[in-house]
Amino acid sequence: MRLQGRVTAITGGALGIGRATARLFAAEGAAVVIGDVDVAGAESLAKEIVGRGGRALALGVDVGDAAQVQAFVDRTVSEHGRLDVMFANAGIAHSAPFLEHPEAEWHRVLRVNLTGVFLCCQVAARQMVAQGGGRIIATASINGFRGVENLVGYNVAKAGVIELTKTMAVELAKHRIAVNAIAPAQIDTRLTRSLPEEARQRRVARIPMGRFGDVDEVARAALFLASDDAAFITGHTLAVDGGYLAGGLWSR
């Protein structure tokens, strides 16, 4: 029960990494507020958590809309009195070669993956300053370190999240707020399962451990960063990548 009594907010919580993290945080004693544009999915998960004896609330939120982000945090605080952990996890992707990448998709991806993280973290941090501290976790990606083909908007946004994490950590440390990020490699989610088999195998070949990661493995990294075990860690991006960054382009 490493999060007993703490209030946690998770964006992009209806599916994938967010869903696994909400389940784990609740099992570790946290009250979980699940934010997503997929309100039905968030509500289904909240009902599941409550049915298991946990505490959960589902709220609709478009992380690229400042007013909706503010309302999301305000509702969290009105329900629970505080916000101890913000997991800014919501993200989208668009795949296209650089020369053909539509400008509209560039703006859409950055709006969610970078501006959305900025807004969620800023609003959460203001609440945490007022209450005397907290933890912020952002979902970056190994793509923020490497120029992975056909994902220019996603790569740039995730690189921005890594630098945003460092900047927030430096500025917010005096307020007793720790800020870290997680950089997953290829994780087995609905999105990656939709890839053609050739593309999946090409990605697996780049991971020294020879497999995609599991959403629960990322959730456990988020739990570590949210817990007292990470009390003296801030400004760090934790790769959950099966050795991808260490090994580079691996040939099996």
- Catalytic residue positions? 154
- What is the DSSP secondary-structure string of 79-131? HHS---EEEE---------GGG--HHHHHHHHIIIIIHHHHHHHHHHHHHHHH
Residue with token string 């900025």: 118
Q: How far apart are CA 68 and CA 86, in angstroms?
A: 15
Select from 140, 88, 93, 156 the least CA-distant residue to 119: 88
Residue 163 backbone class (left: φ over 0; alpha: ψ -120 to 50; beta: rest): alpha
Cα distance between residue 188 and residue 174, in whole Å = 38
